[in-house]
């Protein structure tokens, strides 16, 4: 059972992050990937649909939002809204074509559609090809608040991501979320109860796609560029890895997984250099070149020993610890006073 104070503690830590020496751009990048992972978990963890096409939603929305802000001069809030709508539109098309398939067939259809989006963006003139979309301006929020300052943009991104997390939590806790869980656990049973499961799953796909598009547009606003890396199939694999490592269908699991994976990809080289200087072992200095090996080993460990992910396993361990109530010396006397026998052996005695 989650502590009620834990979300407030996390939010307080995020509010204080810029004043503790944390690099705001890096933390904003992690927040964008955390939102992306939570959006994906809405589909996988709560609807049971494994999509290999979410990179197209994430990166495609980033391209559209970045191009609109750079070329058309739209405001940041309009760019973010356009990114979310682009993600929702792509999700409606992809979901509409794939939703009637199940299991691996559903995953392969989404992968094929995502590859189509990738090659379209590779050839489209407005994307910059392999060079990507560069020099996307941050502009002014609502024409008033300048976002060129990293600290100002940080709190804007934090507010948007927090609101998106609350929205995801509300969706999961709603009757609609309960129906999604029922479909995931026993789809034939949900059909027998009269639910149009394809309609529920398509709506879940669109909601997940819209939030993924918002995350992609936010990332473009933060970094100021968009590249083909975000629409490549490997990005879909990365968000799956984040969700599974953190723990799918858990409230904080995908976000924690995003922190772990993004942190490893960005800071593993620094960790290796620090270990090399402490231990005088030169092999640690090359640790940054082995990011894929380290993340692969982490995934293997998670699958073998942490089947519910980091957050799910820690929560289960905490629950087991809490249920182990220490013996109460007055317990026996209280049961006797209430006239309740303690055991069958006690009655026979």
CATH code of the domain covering residue 148? 1.10.3470
Residue 76 lies in a domain: yes
pLDDT interval class at 344 (50, 70, 90): very low
Helix (H) or strand (E) run with residue 262 in it:
helix 253-279
Strands (E), the chain: 140-141, 145-146
Per-residue pLDDT, 71: 92
Of the candidates 334, 231, 234, the residue with the CA atom closest to the CA atom of residue 291: 234
Residue 31 lies in a domain: yes
Residue 2 lies in a domain: no
Higher-scoring residue by pLDDT: 179, 319 = 179
Q: What average pLDDT score do residues 35-58 get?
A: 95
Q: What is the rounded distance in angstroms from the CA atom of residue 92 to the CA atom of residue 202?
A: 7
Residue 347 lies in a domain: no
Which domain covers residue 301, as residue numbers? 20-324
Of the candidates 39, 74, 42, 71, the residue with the CA atom closest to the CA atom of residue 55: 39
Judged against a pLDDT cut of 90, whether residue 346 lies above it is answered with no
Higher-scoring residue by pLDDT: 77, 339 = 77
**Number of structural domains the chain divides into:** 1
C-alpha 98 chain-centroid distance: 22
Residue 151 lies in a domain: yes
Residue 54 lies in a domain: yes
Q: What average pLDDT score do residues 261-289 get?
A: 75
Higher-scoring residue by pLDDT: 293, 40 = 40
Of 160-169, 238-247, 263-272, 289-298, the range with the lowest mean pLDDT is 263-272
Residue 267 lies in a domain: yes
Residue 333 lies in a domain: no
């Amino acid at each position: 059972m989650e502590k009620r104070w834990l979300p407030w503690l996390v939010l307080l830590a995020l509010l204080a992050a810029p004043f503790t020496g944390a690099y705001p751009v890096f933390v904003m990048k992690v927040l964008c990937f955390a939102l992306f992972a939570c959006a994906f978990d809405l589909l996988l963890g709560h609807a049971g649909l494994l999509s290999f096409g979410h990179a197209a939603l994430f990166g495609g929305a980033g391209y559209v939002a970045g191009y609109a802000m750079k070329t058309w001069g739209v405001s940041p809030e309009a760019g973010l809204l356009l990114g979310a709508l682009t993600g929702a539109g792509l999700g409606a098309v992809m979901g509409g074509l794939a939703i009637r398939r199940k299991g691996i067939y559903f995953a392969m259809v989404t992968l094929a559609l995502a590859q189509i989006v990738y090659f379209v963006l590779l050839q489209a003139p407005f994307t910059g090809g392999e060079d990507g979309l560069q020099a996307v301006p941050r502009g002014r929020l609502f024409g008033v608040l300048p976002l060129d300052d990293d600290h100002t943009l940080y709190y804007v991104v934090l507010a948007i991501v927090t609101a998106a997390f609350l929205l995801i939590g509300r969706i999961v806790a709603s009757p609609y979320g309960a129906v999604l869980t029922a479909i995931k656990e026993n789809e034939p049973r949900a059909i027998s109860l009269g639910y149009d499961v394809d309609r529920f799953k398509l709506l879940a796909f669109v909601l997940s796609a819209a939030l993924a598009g918002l995350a992609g547009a936010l990332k473009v606003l933060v970094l100021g560029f968009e590249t083909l890396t975000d629409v490549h199939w490997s990005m879909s694999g990365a968000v799956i890895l984040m969700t599974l490592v953190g723990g799918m269908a858990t409230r904080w699991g995908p976000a924690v997984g995003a922190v772990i994976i993004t942190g490893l990809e960005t800071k593993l080289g620094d960790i290796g250099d620090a270990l090399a200087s402490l231990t005088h072992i030169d092999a640690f200095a090359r640790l940054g070149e082995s990011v894929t090996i380290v993340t692969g080993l982490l995934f293997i460990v998670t699958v073998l020993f942490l089947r519910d992910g980091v957050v799910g396993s820690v929560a289960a361990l905490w629950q087991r610890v809490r249920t182990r109530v220490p013996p109460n010396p007055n317990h026996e006397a209280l049961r006797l006073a209430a006239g309740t026998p303690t055991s069958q052996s006690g009655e026979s005695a």
